[in-house]
Structure 1
Amino acid sequence: MSFALWTPLLGISLLLLPLLLWRRWRRTRLPSDPPLDKGHIPWFGHAMEFGKDPAKFLSKMKQKHGDIFTIRVAGKFITILLDPCSYDAVLWESNSKLDFGKYARILMERMFDVKLPNFEPNDEKAILRLTLQNKNLSSLTKAMFFNLKTLLFSDQNQQWKEGGLFHLSYSTMLRAGYLTLYGNEEENYDDPSSQDKDRAHSSEVYNEFYKLDRFLMRAARSMLTTVEQKEVARIKERLWKLLSVERLNCKANKSSWLESYKKHLEELGVDEDMQSRAMLLQLWVTQGNAGPAVFWLLLFLLNHPAAMAAVQGEFEKVLGHRGQTVKQMHGISQEMLDNTPVFDSVLKETLRLTAAPFITREVLEDASLRLADGREYSLRKGDRLCLFPYVSPQMDADIYEDPEKFKYDRFLNPDGTEKKEFYKRGTRLKHYNLPWGAGINTCIGKFHAINSIKQFVFLLLSCFDVELKHSNSGIPEFDKERYGFGILQPEGDIMVRYKLKAS
């Protein structure tokens, strides 16, 4: 075809494009579809409300439409399911129908510039599960204990210090977790010179990571300005150097997780530059939630004296008869960590109130979704299906009395054992709290994360006096940008005073 003929045809095609797109976005609800709410703005739909405060918006939609509905968000149709009794129909569905990988690949590239050939999330999890659970868990727990001690006991001065509780929690947990998984500068944990190097290097990693973390939610939504994109690129370049293959190969005490993940990347045919990018992605995946979780847990304890007394009393009961100070200990056994029902309840309640990930699937083919009560709805190919456990079950008043309030013993029976029976309209729930996900996408690092959180809180409360600088600090508002991506973060920090206890 000559250029002369091609030019007018191109013009006609461009004129028809809006019409074709309009037909795709027009969408008419069929009888078998979930309730459809397209919003009032063409194409954009509910994008502004959904992005501003997803929890508030989806709660409003739930009141309007019930526990399943479809909304339009920036040209994408998203079906929201908020019936925990029906979650298994999604959580255990095969990837050939409801796929997690497509959306994961989008986020990996947007947030971390990572492209992995033949990336399959479930294959990767199967490989890494062996290194974060079972026989490897004890070695990770012991390494985390040593690294936490290196960071917490760097200064033996018993004078009061002041600082932000979020900064203390996030920096300590991320730095100790980084050293545990990625390795130390030298092999000897107890050597003062080695400890100094670990403190300096992990601080450098954390400081750069924290700068990046401020931009990640906007990057995930493709909302960075040109100036922000340049700043994010500079930060990533510095982090890629800190996490380069060359540097990681020189580490001591590297975890089996690191070795397995490096081998996995090599088998995928990933070059060293992309390996460094993937290592930064994994730093966020493995360490991005533990620190914020610790912040909220400690803040709830500091605001609820009865809860603080119960947790400290349990720690003393479990560890008080050991005949040695905490500083003399070389670790906390799994048996001891498993014998803390009060702390477990506090952690579950903290995560119920602050864990707000979306569980997202891409609909790969037209399918039907059968709910627990027998209702059946059609899912359309190309749509997205999303569960939001934060709205239901976690903040559901039909399941929890006063769901917005912190009750440290909410997950305890009167006899002190774990409470597992929760009901919604007379039906006992299998999924009543989902901070770790569920089904085939349960967090593989769950047990390591729980052990790490317990050890940090135990060391801090056993060895330091900690108090709010201002007794009326209260609980800060959530940073609403964080909805959908794990543990929420506060809009602002809370100042605390802390000092090392006398031996």
Structure 2
Amino acid sequence: MSWAALLGLLVLLVALALLATRVGRWRRPGEPPLDKGLIPWLGHALDFGKDAAMFLSDMRKKHGDIFTIQAAGKFITFLLDPHSYDVVLWESDSKLDFNRYARLLMDRMFDVRLPDYDPKEEKTLLRMTLQNQNLSSLAKAMSFNLWNILLSDPSKNGPQWKEEGLFHLCYSTMLRAGYLTLYGNEGKDYNDASVQAKDRAHSMEIYNEFYKLDQLLMKAARSTLSAGEKKTFDNIKRDLWELLSVKRLDCRAYRSVWMDCYKQHLVDLGVDEEMQTRAMLLQLWSTQSNAGPAVFWLLFFLLKHPSAMVAVQGEMQAIFGSRKQTIGQAHEMNQEKLEKTPIFDSVLNETLRLTAAPFISREVLQDMLLRLPDCREYHLRKGDRLCLFPYVSPQMDPEIYEEPEKFKYNRFLNSDGTEKTDFYKGGRKLKYYTMPWGAGINVCIGKFHAVNSIKLCVFLLLSYFDLELKHPDTKIPGFDKERYGFGILHPETDVVVRYKLKDL
């Protein structure tokens, strides 16, 4: 071989070596186990996207409760030890940042780009509008709007049996009532039948468009929309932006304190009206996309477990009295009564344990050492993502919950009827034994309003309607696995129910 050829070969080998160091990834000493998968760059993206819960459970069995995977060019470290979650949740945002991923999703899903966006600052500003003294007024407004949608609608309040998909019934009812509660009503006279009819019509228009959008949102979040789907997605957003334009919203009556505070926050950020409108659609999804699915699963579990239904209805009767006493006064359920429902709270906690599956993600901003409470230490690399998935652990962990796949309505009740909060893993009491509302800076600031709203909807449905499965032997539907990582899971198929207004 000539010197020129040999020199060329050496240059090629050096170039290949340099390329390998740039595009390859090897586990360094002190880093979590690394599993890149068999396909270069793509890694485990297909298996992860197909069924994240099963994939991560398998990875946990293979590597333990902390490991790094490659998925579509991104390296993600998963930590699945609930005893260690605080280390991530309260780490300095100079090391672990939530903003970048939040901004990415806001842009991909809703075309929202906010200058100087700080989710912590925004949550601090809006927290009080959804809590404390504002809870009672929100509950009263939600009660009225639920009453209008469920009990004033001639298509629902007749004595004849009607059939409908339970998921559609719950999702539409909760989103419509929730939208009216936060974004305001068509007129100021609650008792005006024409105003009530306008509220029902407008909220249904919002729901119909939103539901179409919701069917494509997960693909938008993962940038997997086809060209045709992208065109449809953009057209639906434009229709919703017209319906939710800030000029139209400014004319609505009884807007919530949250609504006006958020609008002023956007103005203070220097956001123009077009981007404000886009942000209103983002917030409609953020505030309303989980409550309806939660009501669906809760009612379905009650319908499939008669003992749980009897317990909840007995508690309702004891607290709220007979239905006859509350006719026409559904919007007067007070906060004190709503907080005295330990059986319902257990049912809700169990429902959310089984169906809430959000990711809690942070971007690693600098090379750092992650110190776990059990004295383990792991090096994390700048540019990676660190992720918690509470659905796998603690929520579906058999060491924490006996038969975790089964619904047990009293799982979160002590023998004396008080709330059970003592759960253990590895012989140690858990701080985080179920995490449907997130935690740390990710905690849902609207939790208390959401719980009130779920209770009000279920109480009204069970108090005023006879409700039953069309086919009592209906099996529990599977999950839409595309929804892992984004809140309450949706069913793969709807479940048909029959319902009619109860006799007096």
The answer, yes or no, to whether TM exceeds 0.5 is yes
Indicate the residue corresponding to 2:437 in structure 1: 436
1:205 aligns with 2:206: yes
> Paired residue for 2:127, among 126, 129, 134?
129
Aligned residue number for residue 44 of structure 2: 46
C-alpha separation between the residues in 1 aligned to 2:396 and 2:323? 40
Decide whether the 8 Å contact of 1:25 with 1:75 is kept in 2: no
Counterpart residue type for residue 140 of structure 2: K
Counterparts in 2 of 1:217-236, with a 5 A limit?
217-236=218-237
Amino acid at match of 1:83: D
TM-score scaled to structure 2, two decimals? 0.95
Query: Aligned equivalents of 1:24 and 1:296: distance in 2?
Result: 47
The equivalences for 1:93-492 within 5 A come to 93-153=91-151, 154-155=153-154, 156-320=157-321, 324-492=325-493
- Structure 1 position 28, deviation (Å): 1.4
CA–CA separation in structure 1 for the residues paired with 2:41 and 2:495: 41
Native 8 Å contact 2:323 2:463 kept in 1: no
Aligned-pair CA distance for 1:27: 1.2
Question: Residue 466 of structure 1: SS of its match in structure 2?
Answer: strand
Q: Distance in 1 between matches of 2:467 and 2:179?
A: 25
Shift of residue 17, structure 1, vs aligned partner? 10
Alpha carbons of structure 1 residues 267 and 21: separation in structure 2 relative to 1, 3 Å: farther
Rounded to whole Å, the distance in 2 between the matches of 1:106 and 1:98 is: 16
- Closer/same/farther in 2, CA of residues 321 and 168 from structure 1, 3 Å limit: closer
Of the three residues 28, 31, 35, the one matched with 1:30 is 28
Whole-angstrom CA distance in 2 between matches of 1:356 and 1:18: 42
Q: Over residues 2-36 of structure 1, what are the superposed CA-to-partner deviations in whole Å (9 max), with x where a residue is unaligned? A: xxxxxxxxxxxxxx999866433411111210011
- Report how far residue 246 of structure 1 moved: 1.1
User: Separation in 2 of the partners of 1:418 and 1:285?
Assistant: 28
Q: Distance in 1 between matches of 2:432 and 2:276?
A: 36
Checking the alignment, whether the CA contact within 8 Å between 1:357 and 1:487 is kept in structure 2 is yes
Q: Which runs of 5+ in 2 are unaligned?
A: 1-13
Kindly report the root-mean-square deviation, in angstroms, between the aligned alpha carbons of the 2 structures: 1.4
Check whether the contact 1:362–1:385 (CA below 8 A) recurs between aligned residues: yes
Aligned amino acid, residue 110 of structure 2: F
Structure 2 counterpart of 1:456, one-letter code: C
CA distance in 2, matches of 1:116, 1:328: 42
Partners of 1:330 and 1:422 lie apart in 2 by 37
Distance 1:117 1:212 in 2: 25
Deviation at 1:163, TM superposition (A): 0.2
Contact 2:141 2:331 in 1 (8 A): no
**How far did 1:322 drift?**
9.5
Partner in structure 1 of residue 58 of structure 2: 60
The number of residues matched between the two structures is 488
Structure 1 residue runs of 4 or more that deviate by more than 3 Å after TM superposition: 16-22
Residue 81 of structure 2 aligns with which residue? 83
Q: How far does residue 326 in structure 1 lie from its aligned partner after superposition?
A: 3.5
- Asked whether the equivalents of residues 326 and 459 of structure 1 are also in contact (C-alpha less than 8 Å), the reply is no
Corresponding residue of 2:4: none
Letter in 1 for 2:355: T
1:393 CA displacement: 0.2
Question: What SS does the corresponding residue of 1:415 show, helix, strand or coil?
Answer: coil
Hey, what's the Cα distance between the residues in 2 that align with 1:20 and 1:77? 20
Contact in 1 for aligned 2:147/2:331 (Cα 8 Å): no
Q: Secondary structure at the match of 2:332?
A: coil
d(CA) in 2 for partners of 1:88, 1:51: 27
CA contact (8 A) 1:326 1:462 kept: no
User: Post-superposition shift, 1:327?
Assistant: 2.7
Give the distance between the partners of 1:159 and 1:323, measured in 2 at CA.
Answer: 20
Amino acid at match of 1:423: Y
The 3-state SS of whatever aligns with 1:87 is helix
